[in-house]
Amino acid sequence: MKQLLFTTTALALAASACTSAPRDAGFGDVADTAKTRGGVSPAWTRTPDADREADRIVRETLAQPLTAEAVVRVAILHNRDLQAVYEELGISRGQLIQAGLPDNPVFVWDTWFFNAGTSFEGALFQNLISVFTIPLRREIQGEQFEAAKRRVAAAVLATIGDARRAYVTFLTQRQLVDMERAVVTATEASYLTAERLRQAGNVPQLTVLRERALYEESKLQLNVALEQLAAAREALNQVMSLSGSMTTWTVPAGWSPVGPPAATVAAGEARPGVTGLEPGDTTVLELDKVAKVPGPTPTPMADTPLDAARKLAGPPRADNLSTPPGSGTADAASPAPDPAMPDLSWLGALSEPGGAGLPDPLVPSQERSEAVERRIVERSLVLSGQRHLIEAQATRLKLRNILALFPFLNVGITTEKGAGSSEFGLGPSVATPIPVFDLGQGIRPEEASRLRQRLETFLSTATSLRSLARTAEVRLQTTRERAAYLRDVVLPLHASLVAESQLQYNAMALTPFDLLLAKRQQIAAGRAYLLTLRAYWLAYADLQQLLDGSVPPMPGAPGLFVGPVLAPMPTVPAMGMN
């Protein structure tokens, strides 16, 4: 019996002594893979000092115009989702350590009280199955640890790819904006030339209207390109996990991913108040400046040209989309009023806790953008849920630290009949493990990694919410401007174009197909107006949903989730014998 006890103890001690795992949780292998295949060495900021050093490097990098390599470097150092993925290594390392530990021996003490006196008995139990299965458990967990290292390495390479794609997309979109600006300049020159020729009597009014239509269409396309540029910039902000003052980065002027350098706005130029637009960009469509462009002055060539034009093509009617869904529609029996632009006064009514209302929502404002971001973060139910999960994980860490040493303490009542006597003894019985082998070497780092993972996920979600807020606000502003411009400038212009085409057709100067082409263009303008109104109300709904505390189905939003529930706690044997 003594030999068996000695052998068992020796095996358990040898098994616990062999329990080991990489101190860096295998991150060195991940870094080597990322360096070899992606050309960048990642950093795991697990300590406050490491986090401060990474933040210093990121800010120094952002202070200079960003190149593709700089974007990748910032993403690898600062992407909060990636830092949360790194914690999978810590979790897997803790599980690997725990798999190499035998169960602690269980000490049982019984006491019986007889009339003749008190009897004691003590026993020590060791779960031999937990000792003999250590090699198998370590093999299983070792394979899972290797799989975790490869998952993390794949996530690093995926982040590198996302950063490169986002950077190229942004630069390409900026070139498209430059091209659209050139188109606006060219069509404006063409329109002004046609107007001067008309004033000299060299071209008809129809030619001027056609050139004006091309000019206005080019401005609309530039507005769309600027909105897409803001979205591309926010996609780059998200992959680098940037918010606040960090989002004011620039890129080298004149640099392009492909082809010759394009003329761009000089880096560092003051930008307007619309958050998310590039330095020097405006939203282009400014109704108060339209009057500066000479407008057409059609001269009737028939007795009732306007009546004929109205019969041929009345102005598009979008009354049912000019008010929020569910607010009712115009009476079909009454004349339809002019489509009214959506009202944004609801946004101005927002107020911060204890503060005044936000600035005018119709005027681009950096102050309003920051206030909207703060309100969205404060009211987010996603972040609120993650806060509770962080508190739960912190409490769980405290509990697991206690249970690691004393997972159970069984107290009961035992009886025994005395030898050669009919008397029964009654007394207490206590069973508890003795922390000899398993001192929580694996449990504590595993739970600490889970807590850090929760914190990184929370920071990532907050950054993504701020980016979604900026994106939704830019969409709201640009779609409203386009809808107003289509209603006040483009639709009347196409009505005049159809009327002038009708006059020229009556004078046998145009073919029926030219007249039908003008009509089709008017219909296309009306369709664009309706689709733009729809886009406005969708942007309105997205921003309102963000302000209400939920996350709309916007690009970049699928990654926002509360997260999985806590991992199940280990079960405790009923009698305390593992």
Condensed to tens digits (0 to 9), the pLDDT of residues 449-458 reads: 999 999 999 9
The C-alpha atoms of residue 9 and residue 79 are separated, in whole angstroms, by 48
Q: What are the helix (H) ranges across 443-486? A: 443-485
Q: What percent of the chain has pLDDT over 70?
A: 72
295 occurs within a structural domain: no
Instruction: Please say if the pLDDT value at position 108 is more than 70.
Output: yes
Domain limits for position 405: 2-244+359-548
Can you tell me the mean pLDDT for 251-265? 55
How confident is the model at residue 212, as a pLDDT? Answer: 95
The segment with the largest mean pLDDT, out of 21-30, 289-298, 498-507, is 498-507
- Overall number of domains in the chain: 1
How confident is the model at residue 351, as a pLDDT? Answer: 29
| Tokens at 88, concatenated | 């999978």
How confident is the model at residue 329, as a pLDDT? Answer: 36
How confident is the model at residue 280, as a pLDDT? Answer: 52
Which residues face 125 on adjacent strands?
106
Instruction: Please say if the pLDDT value at position 333 is more than 70.
Output: no
Q: What is the pLDDT of residues 29-86, one digit of tens each?
A: 999 999 999 888 899 988 888 889 999 999 999 999 999 999 999 999 999 999 999 9
- Out of 83-97, 156-170, 197-211, 546-560, least confident range: 546-560
What is the pTM (predicted TM-score) of this model? 0.75
333 occurs within a structural domain: no
How confident is the model at residue 283, as a pLDDT? Answer: 58
How confident is the model at residue 494, as a pLDDT? Answer: 94
How confident is the model at residue 350, as a pLDDT? Answer: 31
Q: Which residue has better confidence, 17 or 238?
A: 238
Whose CA is closest to 433, among 409, 401, 412, 413?
A: 409
Instruction: Please say if the pLDDT value at position 162 is more than 60.
Output: yes
Q: What is the pLDDT of residues 166-203, one digit of tens each?
A: 999 999 999 999 999 999 999 999 999 999 999 999 99
Confidence label for 394 from pLDDT (cuts 50, 70 and 90): very high
Contact 371, 350 (CB under 8 A): yes
Residue 306 CB coordination number (10 Å): 15
Contact 235, 555 (CB under 8 A): yes
Q: What percent of the chain has pLDDT over 90?
A: 59
Instruction: Please say if the pLDDT value at position 531 is more than 60.
Output: yes
157 occurs within a structural domain: yes
Mean pLDDT of the chain: 79
Q: What is the pLDDT of residues 368-381, one digit of tens each?
A: 778 888 899 999 99
| Tokens at 569, concatenated | 């706690």
How confident is the model at residue 24, as a pLDDT? Answer: 81
**Residue 486 CB partners (closer than 8 Å, separation 6+):** 220, 525, 528, 529, 532
Confidence label for 21 from pLDDT (cuts 50, 70 and 90): confident
315 occurs within a structural domain: no
The segment with the largest mean pLDDT, out of 100-114, 257-271, 342-356, is 100-114
* Residue count of the chain: 578
Burial (CB count <10 Å: 0-12, 13-18, 19+), residue 573: middle
Q: Which residue has better confidence, 366 or 165?
A: 165
Instruction: Please say if the pLDDT value at position 257 is more than 60.
Output: no
273 occurs within a structural domain: no
Which residues face 107 on adjacent strands?
124, 432
How confident is the model at residue 41, as a pLDDT? Answer: 87
- Out of 283-287, 403-407, 505-509, least confident range: 283-287
514 occurs within a structural domain: yes
| Tokens at 142, concatenated | 């070792």
Q: What is the pLDDT of residues 209-231, one digit of tens each?
A: 999 999 999 999 999 999 999 99
The C-alpha atoms of residue 243 and residue 206 are separated, in whole angstroms, by 51
How confident is the model at residue 286, as a pLDDT? Answer: 61
Name the one residue in this structure whose structure tokens are 């035998």: 102
272 occurs within a structural domain: no
Question: Rounded to the nearest 10 degrees, what angle do helices 134-199 and 68-78 cross at?
Answer: 140
Contact 151, 159 (CB under 8 A): no
How confident is the model at residue 365, as a pLDDT? Answer: 56
349 occurs within a structural domain: no
